[in-house]
Structure 1
Amino acid sequence: MSPLRRRMIEDMQIRNLTPNTQRVYVAQVVRFACHFGKSPDLLGPPEIRTYLLHLTQERRLAASSIIVTVSALRFFYHTTLKRPWAVEDDIPAGRQAKKLPVVLSQEEVARFLGAVDNLKHRTILTICYATGLRISEAVRLRPAAIDSKRMVIRVEQGKGRKDRYVMLPPKLLDMLRDYWKGAHPREWLFPGRLPGQPVSPLTIDLTCRQVREQCGIAKPVSPHSLRHAFAVHLLEAGTDLRTIQLLLGHRNLSTTARYLMIATSKVCATASPLESLDVLVPTVPDLVPA
């Protein structure tokens, strides 16, 4: 490992960035350097601009992917190299299109989960829907996180290095007990193929794609889709936004509030002011051809 890479990793560790963020940031800086065939400390604003244009115009990456690259380069040049130039001006962050997720209905969720044959994978995906956990949080659960006496699940060091509790529904507890009888997990509740490591989120993503095709569900299905469905279905059932925010582990309430735009049974069922008018809306007579 080069001294420069080691210093960047140490800078991220000091600031308590998650291991996944550290891996992503290092990979982005390495790709940037490889594109020009030079050490990144020899590159500057002109190369950064050229590289971002390359990602946008030639590789046609999504805005979300480019934002990750921008964040990694900003950290490297501002924090690790302490370059005097204005990082925000030379490494602009593009705007990400705000798209509403497509939400599965409860019937679609039931059909999808019922078609997952692998008990471990079905249990993980059921956790994502039953509790709203991110897939990265679900696969890293430990057996001790399941508290059947208080009927809660403890999520340790979730996104943003935050701990929180989520509910443990009785149906999910029954499924976990069935899974436990056959698997007898030790360190991780859902161990992977590699010794000492939990199952990979990519494995669960692959299961989602395969089962979605088998079920004939037209909507996209992923572990995060089940998290979205959890939030929307709770909102439509009358749960307040603040509670949903705590369950999802959102830092800002505004992030949770976006689900108001897709909770159709709550928003679209609101009576239109037209219904309170005393006068009738005139009807347009049918046009009869001459």
Structure 2
Amino acid sequence: MPGPDPHAPKLLDRVRQVCRRRQYSYHTEKAYVRWVIRFVRFHDTTHPRHLNEDDIRAFLSHLASERNVAASTQNQALNALVFLYEQVLGVELGDLGPLDRADRPKRLPTVLSREEVRHLFAALPPGPNRLIAHLLYGSGLRLSEALRLRVKALDFDGGRVHVRDGKGGKDRTTMLPERLHAPLQRYLKKVRAQHETDCVEGVGSVYLPDAIAEKYPNAATEWRWQYVFPSPRLSDDPRSGAVRRHHRSDSAVQRAVKNAADAADIEKHATCHTLRHSFATHLLRDGTDVRTIQRLQGP
């Protein structure tokens, strides 16, 4: 029986290649690679081709019973391993059987009152972090959706935000509150000036998924494809090595919201996601039907 091809890509490289071919985000790619590493190490570095459903079940149960991971973490590990076997190794998995499932905490989402929202925004310094927080509350966006917004996604004339490739890979349209039009437009003038300077210096090309980059070769430097909230610093693209400006860091926004909640003496555990929950709750209290809210917020 012939041995493995010495020139074949290594397992983790194959995981990365398939993630990129399927247009997965870099965040997902890193997470899946980490889970493959943990799975292999759990089984004493045995190659996954020599492991089966029982071994997958043992690892997932270990995460719940020994590592006490959250249910969402266990589900991410399961998704990564299904991806590894079915998309990378070409192995159709059978029934995994019963798993020790991580407990899902039965907690009601935290919701701020309108007065608390006003105090939180008043405590946020002017700038992109405050604009992002306004979009989380005013448009019901997830933080990741707000950070990935491109300039062309903002429809000021129609008062809408077009969310592309949201959770579950779905697109949707939500509202863009009129009170945000002027501050966003003023902010975008500064971003555009920065982008034009970057272009002159040869670093004005933004990341685009491969399919879009191939279809529109010049899109990477076009203004409408730029991030609404670019990073204040240039960095090396971890995939291509190109120097470019990625979108703003999620941790910077999360830290700003936490600090503002502390400064406003809000006793509730207020986070970026709290603003999204508050958006839905306040619309519901104003008489908006649940179906409309679900359409605006997405899955």
TM-score when scaled to structure 1? 0.75
1:31 deviates by 1.9
**2:119 maps to 1:70:** no
Whichever residue aligns with residue 237 of structure 1, its letter is: D
* Residue in 2 that maps onto 1:215: 264
Find 2:153's aligned residue among 128, 141, 145. Answer: 145
Q: Deviations over 1:58-81 (max 9, x none)?
A: 332112211211221223234433
Larger Rg: 1
Partners of 2:298 and 2:105 in 1: CA distance: 23
The residue matched to 1:166 in structure 2 has which SS? Answer: strand
| Residue 59 (structure 1) aligned to one of 48, 67, 82 | 67
Q: Identify the structure with bigger relative contact order (alpha carbons < 8 Å, sequence gap 6+).
A: 2
> Where do residues 83-232 of structure 1 align in structure 2 (5 Å cutoff)?
83=91, 86-89=94-97, 94=102, 96-184=104-192, 186=195, 187-192=226-231, 193=233, 194=235, 195-232=244-281
For the residues of structure 2 that align with 1:88 and 1:15, how far apart are their CA atoms?
Answer: 25
Query: RMSD in angstroms over aligned alpha carbons?
Result: 2.7
Return the alpha-carbon distance in structure 2 between the equivalents of residues 90 and 2 of structure 1. Answer: 34
Q: What amino acid does structure 2 have at the position aligned with 1:22?
A: E
Within 2, Cα distance between the matches of 1:71 and 1:170? Answer: 40
How far apart, CA to CA, are the structure 2 residues paired with 1:104 and 1:36?
46
Quote the offset at 1:180 in angstroms.
2.8
Q: Deviations over 1:180-224 (max 9, x none)?
A: 344446421111133320002122112222222222212112221
CA contact (8 A) 1:45 1:91 kept: no
In the alignment of these two chains, the number of paired residues is 250
> Could you say what secondary structure the match of 1:88 adopts?
coil
Task: Check if 1:20 corresponds to 2:27.
Answer: yes
Query: Which amino acid letter does the alignment assign opposite residue 229 of structure 2?
Result: F
The alpha-carbon deviation at position 99 of structure 1 amounts to: 2.8
Amino acid at match of 1:244: I
Cα separation, 1, equivalents of 2:55 and 2:85: 13
Cα distance change, pair 77–191 in 1 and its aligned pair in 2 (3 A) = same
Taking structure 2 as the reference length, the TM-score comes to 0.73
After TM superposition, the structure 1 stretch with the greater mean CA deviation from structure 2, 78-87 or 241-250, is 78-87
Check conservation: 2:53, 2:94, Cα contact below 8 A.
Answer: no
2:70 is equivalent to residue 31 of structure 1: no
CA distance in 2, matches of 1:88, 1:94: 16
Shift of 1:238: 0.4
Q: Does the CA contact (< 8 Å) of 2:61 and 2:99 recur in 1? A: no
3-state SS of the aligned residue for 2:247? coil
Q: Which residue of 1 aligns with 2:211?
A: none
1:89 is paired with a residue whose SS is coil
Identical-pair percentage: 35
* Matching residue's letter, 1:239: T
| Whole-angstrom CA distance in 2 between matches of 1:114 and 1:34 | 49
Deviation at 1:41, TM superposition (A): 3.0
Match of 2:284 among 209, 217, 235: 235
Distance 1:130 1:3 in 2: 46
Alpha carbons of structure 1 residues 215 and 84: separation in structure 2 relative to 1, 3 Å: same
Letter of the structure 1 residue corresponding to residue 265 of structure 2? G
Q: Which moved more, 1:70-79 or 1:230-239?
A: 70-79
Q: What does the per-residue CA deviation read over 1:225-271, in whole Å, with 9 as the maximum and x for residues that have no partner?
A: 11111011101100111211111122xxxxxxxxxxxxxxxxxxxxx
